Amino acid sequence: MPALLTAMSIASILFSGAIFGFFYAWVCSTMWGLDAADPRIAIAAMQAMNASVSNVAFAPAFFLTPAVTALTGVVALMYRRKDAALWFFAAAATYLAFGLVLTATVNVPMNEALAREAVPDDIEAARLIWDAYSQPWQVWNLVRTVASGVALVFCAIGLIRAKK
């Protein structure tokens, strides 16, 4: 297998794996922990986490995953690995639609709305805000987690197909 295609395939797997792991952590620990906490603390914590996530460590995995995987598809085509290319293009499209675009159109607006909320002193008022936010946010996060996992699997299949 050509070295460039090998390197690009590994990069695609790393980028897809990083963003899948990020979303997965929210599914299996972060949100469960926040749901178990005092809702006033959960709101304040989520506001702080959302404010901190726009950073140079997160940006490459979030924004560059579809570009890296699509570029890997192009490289696979250059080396006449059409089957592999299709898997990398499928990974790029899956993550782009159900990871990046979904986040930008659903999760981020929900986060911005929560950021505008003042944390109430009353626990029941806070519980209403948190419950209205947490459950729908988690549903959409699960969608982007599954999609990112599917993209990761597609990249792995692409690597296997590129070796042929």
Q: pLDDT per residue over 77-113, tens digit each?
A: 999 999 999 999 999 999 999 999 999 999 999 999 9
pLDDT tens-place string over residues 116-149? 999 999 999 999 999 999 999 999 999 999 999 9
Instruction: Give the CA-trace dihedral at 150, 151, 154, 159, to 10 degrees.
Output: -140
Return the DSSP state at 60.
H
SS3 (DSSP) at 114: helix
What letter does residue 1 receive in the DSSP assignment?
-
pTM, rounded to two decimals: 0.95
CB 43 within 8 A of CB 119: yes
What is the SS3 assignment for 143?
A: helix
Give the separation between CA 39 and CA 45, rounded to whole angstroms: 10
